[in-house]
Amino acid sequence: MIRPTVRVLAGAALGAVAAQAAYRALTGRPPGLNGLPGEEVWGRSNHRGEPVTLLEGPAFVAGAAAAGLLAPGPGGRVRAAALLAGAGSGVLGGYDDLAGSAGSRGFKGHLGALARGEVTSGAVKILGIGATGLAAAAIAGSPAPSRAGRAFDTLLNGAIVAGSANLMNLFDLRPGRAIKVGLITGVPLALTPSGSAVVAAPLGAAAALLPEDLAERAMLGDTGSNALGALLGLAATRLGRGPRLAVLAGVAGLNAASEFVSFTKVIRETPALNRIDMLGRRPPAVPVPSPVPPQPGPAAAETGAGGTTAAAGGETGSGGDAGSGDAAGDASAGGATAGETGAGSGAVTDPAP
């Protein structure tokens, strides 16, 4: 009999090898679509405006699926549920990656558009992941002795899978962030006897792809982040009913909060979270300072409005010494220093981390 620790390590190793192999194959010959070259289909710009590929997502889905089928430990029903949850969420996320637009965002945006009769790619994904989560929960089964108990568990577990899939996607806004969240939440699940069988392969696949993500060469996109979240959610459904209810409350609360709160802002303004978020990443992008306009020449030196104007770049006087852009030396009229942009009033734009 294989010990639990060995099963987890074997599953993680298989996931890492399979994901790396899939990533090399996909980036070596990116698949095209509708006559478009693969580089154009899967290429995007990140928060810096630099090119990245979305093929990390399909590589994660393929690696996690292949390793999940081969890894020792899970029973047949759990393997089938993991395959459906991961691959199903990944396919729906891929559809949104390739066909989606920025016109509607979040549950409120997509469901609001649906209420107006507009079917967005995001609405298709939300409804599809919900159905996939319920189906995966039904396949995985429940130990409840009564039919009502099993039905309740299926609804509860399906909501956890679907909610986790959507929540992980909300973290895929900065390099490595979604994978770090996945590892932080997944490792404790890997230490549980019931959850380790599901989570080992996706954790290994995610860890293997983390360097590409941190280097800003690739990103999970909806394809990978939805699949990672769904598989973590499925692992959480192997817990007892009390912990599962707590998990659902947390997942639902964070999904709801995302409609009103910027996770990126909260992370940036919380020192401990920001240190974890920046670990292994490149330094934040610094905006290029605006060019400083030329100072007036000697010909304009004698203009006074209740005072005297110093010539050749001196202070403009209007009953005082400082110009309108003087804010502790941070910004000049129309220019900025140290990566901060000013509009003649010392206003600062914080560069996105």
For residue 327, the model assigns a pLDDT of 34
Question: pLDDT tens digits for 216-275?
Answer: 999 999 999 999 999 999 999 999 999 999 999 999 999 999 989 999 999 999 999 999
The DSSP call for residue 44 is E
Distances from the Cα of 254 to the Cα of 6, 195, 257, 259, angstroms: 34, 22, 5, 9
**What is the pLDDT averaged over residues 318-344?**
38
CB of 62 closer than 8 Å to CB of 91 = no
Strands 331-332 and 335-336: antiparallel
104/168: higher pLDDT: 168
Q: How confident is the model at residue 99 (pLDDT cuts 50, 70, 90)?
A: confident
- CA–CA gap between residue 306 and residue 223 (Å, rounded): 65
pLDDT in tens, 264-308: 999 999 999 999 999 999 887 666 666 666 666 554 444 444 444
Tens of pLDDT, residue by residue over 326-336, are 333 333 333 33
Residue among 14, 154, 132 at smallest CA distance from 74: 14
Residue 341's CB: how many other CB atoms inside 10 A?
A: 19
Burial of 322 (0-12, 13-18, 19+ CB in 10 A): exposed
CA atoms within 13 A on the CB side of 319: 1
Closest CA to 79 of 243, 255, 231, 273: 231
Mean pLDDT confidence for 81-95: 95
- Whole-prediction pTM: 0.78
CA-closest candidate to residue 61, choices 93, 36, 33: 93
For 51, the 3-state DSSP assignment is: strand
pLDDT tens digit sequence for 114-157: 677 777 777 889 899 999 999 999 999 999 999 999 999 999 99
- Does residue 185 have a pLDDT over 50? yes
pLDDT band at 321 (very low <50, low <70, confident <90, very high): very low
- pLDDT for the residue numbered 132: 96
Task: For the chain, give the mean pLDDT.
Answer: 82
Token duo for residue 118: 């507009």
Q: What is the pLDDT of residue 110?
A: 65
pLDDT band at 75 (very low <50, low <70, confident <90, very high): confident
